[in-house]
Amino acid sequence: MIEAKQDLLKALASAIEEVSPASPLKAAFESPKLAAHGDLACTSAMQLAKPLKKNPREVAQALIAALERQPAVQRHVSTFEIAGPGFINLRLRASARQAVVREVLAAGAQFGHRSANGQRVLVEFVSANPTGPLHVGHGRQAALGDAICNLFDTQGCAVWREFYYNDAGVQIATLAASTHARLLGFKPGDPQWPESAYNGDYIADIAADFAARKTVKADDREFTASGDVNDIDGIRQFAVAYLRHEQDLDLQAFGVRFDHYFLESSLYSSGQVEATVARLVAAGKTYEQDGALWLRTTDYGDDKDRVMRKSPAAGAAATVEAQYTYFVPDVAYHIKKFERGYAKAINIQGGDHHGTIVRVRAGLQAAGVGIPKGYPDYVLHKMVTVMKGGEEVKISKRAGAYVTLRDLIDWTSRDAVRFFLISRKADTEFTFDVDLALKQNDENPVFYVQYAHARICSVIQQYVDKGGDPAAIATADLSVLTAPTETALMLKLADYPAMLSSAAETLAPHDLTFYLRDVASAFHSYYGAERFLSDDAAVTQARLALLSATRQVICNALSVLGVAAPEKM
């Protein structure tokens, strides 16, 4: 059916050109919401009516007449119907619908994938500073970012996964001070405990391992503790390495990997920040006022200009890093991304970063280095509320102030956490119901989808156990697949490639969770309506071929989400 759709799109493009020469309208089909309306729908007539100054139904009739002359249409379409104000509904021939089964089985794990296109995409996500365990918000970023990376993989892009974090600055200084206080024997609540210190139990763990002179190794660093309570720099380096190691363990448990860890400090040590500031000054996009250096971000849509370098009175810091406001290294970092050859960059960040978007983009435009407007793309996610036992969970004993990603994984499973955290649009708030994630019924969406896969595996195994020939499934006569539930399932399988492309283009991995639930629903309806293992060998083999294709598509889609496809449940 995929080939049929491609042929029909070309036929529709030719028909549009015939009815409205030089029209910019792109040929497109939609899937009707009701099966009674056909297999494919087209709104081109209504879109062409105004420029042609004709009635939409009249245009629809002209399009149909042009389509009926196309060999592809004669081969794949059985009937046309004009509905409502000018919708064109197409009903495919049974052979066109059935073809998707062979297409899926032939492509296997590559079904829905596109060939390499040479596009390089950098996706930055999680990017947590090493000041504590990863929280639920980081988990949502990890799930979203990894799924978006996988989506672009399916579209033939070369994807680079990057984790950016600050290994210096005020937060890291606070981490070192907190650990130092623990080494001195103080704890939260003591008069000597720093007011801004981190209070979680993990600080005591870091202090104990530092005193024991342990070595910690993370993906991007390794450090051995001196054990000297007065070694503040050593405490800082050990604490950062310790927490980076802890974050790595959390990400490994979540099945997320990165190609590179980018340090904010490297932007200063390499001179990238200073070079970026010099570029902006040379471009005439800055000015001095009240002893501070400002960027004219209002020239690029900001509501006010922004300070780049603070005045000495605002805090004459000992470090270069403290002189600049936080968006300046962001501008330098994104210039670096572009210079590294990533014409497309995507940032997955919390909703609290919304205000930085216009500033960063303004800085990139002002720098005059050829970066296009709208660079980079952003996916901002909202908060996650965790419910357990009917009550909101707000703190973790280990973290001290929030629920950690590891808590969610331990309470439920990696698959449940991934599926749930992707199952809503990123810009909507989400309630993670731990009790729901543990249910083994159709109320739990990840169970519902995984159970469909396991159920199919069970049916196919029963066929083999009864002496059925697996090779016969691949060569089955598909013409017997005409039941309404079979048609509905085949049409849903045929939607997969277009759904993947759309989800990648719109940065919407939640589309996969909705699609998977639709496929699972279509399968479960099929399971309840028909017998798969019957005395009719031809029917059995054809239905098992459809089941095999369904299993493959479910497995492929779950893989994009980073969720397992179990064979037994």
Here the contacts of 298-302 (C-beta below 8 Å, separation 24 or greater) are 299/362, 299/366, 300/358, 300/361, 300/362, 300/365, 300/366, 301/358, 301/362, 302/358, 302/359, 302/362
- Tell me what percent of the chain is helix, strand and coil, each rounded to the nearest 5: 55, 15, 30
Checking if the pLDDT of 35 tops 90, the result is no
Percent of the chain at pLDDT exceeding 70: 98
Residues of the chain with CATH 3.40.50.620: 270-380
Residue 319 confidence (pLDDT): 61
Alpha helices in 93-168 (DSSP H): 94-107, 136-154
Pairing of strands 344-350, 120-124: parallel
- Structure tokens given for 84: 């409502």
Of 38-47, 263-272, 322-331, 547-556, least confident by mean pLDDT is: 322-331
The stretch 403-411 carries a mean pLDDT of 94
pLDDT of amino acid 320: 62
Q: What is the mean pLDDT of residues 371-386?
A: 96
Residue with tokens 């002359």: 69
The pTM assigned to this predicted structure is 0.91
Residue 313 pLDDT: 58
Residue-wise pLDDT tens digits, 303-328 = 999 999 988 755 444 566 668 888 99
Q: Which phi and psi (to 5°) does residue 61 adopt?
A: -65, -40
Which whole number is the average pLDDT over 265-272?
93
Q: Please identify, in words, the CATH class of the domain defined by 270-380.
A: alpha beta
Is the pLDDT at 401 greater than 80? The verdict is: no
Q: Are 307 and 325 in contact (CB under 8 A)?
A: yes
Range scoring the smallest mean pLDDT among 12-16, 374-378, 395-399, 458-462:
395-399
The answer as to CATH 1.10.730.10 being correct for domain 442-561 is: yes
pLDDT of residue 459: 97
b/e 174-201 (16+ beta carbons within 10 angstroms → b): ebbbbbbbbbeebebeeeeeeeebbbbe
d(CA 410, CA 225): 30
Sheet holding 87-92, edge to edge: 40-42, 87-92, 77-83
Comparing CA positions, the residue from 420, 418, 392, 397 lying closest to residue 407 is 397
pLDDT of residue 316: 47
Architecture of domain 2-92: 2-Layer Sandwich (3.30)
| pLDDT tier for residue 2 given thresholds of 50, 70 and 90 | confident
Q: At residue 515, does pLDDT exceed 90?
A: yes
CB-based burial, 314-352: b 16+ in 10 Å, e otherwise: eeeeeeebebbbebbbbbbbbbbbbeeebebbbbbbbee
Position 394 scores a pLDDT of 85
Cα radius of gyration (the chain): 29
Task: Write out pLDDT tens, residues 414-423.
Answer: 999 999 999 9
Residue range 159-187, pLDDT digits in tens = 999 999 988 778 899 999 999 999 999 99
In this prediction, residue 315 carries a pLDDT of 47
Contacts of 132 (CB under 8 A, 6+ apart): 198, 200, 202, 243, 399
**pLDDT tens-digit readout, 97-151:** 999 999 999 999 999 999 999 999 999 999 999 999 999 999 999 999 999 999 9
> Does the pLDDT value for residue 397 go beyond 70?
no
* 67 pLDDT higher than 50: yes
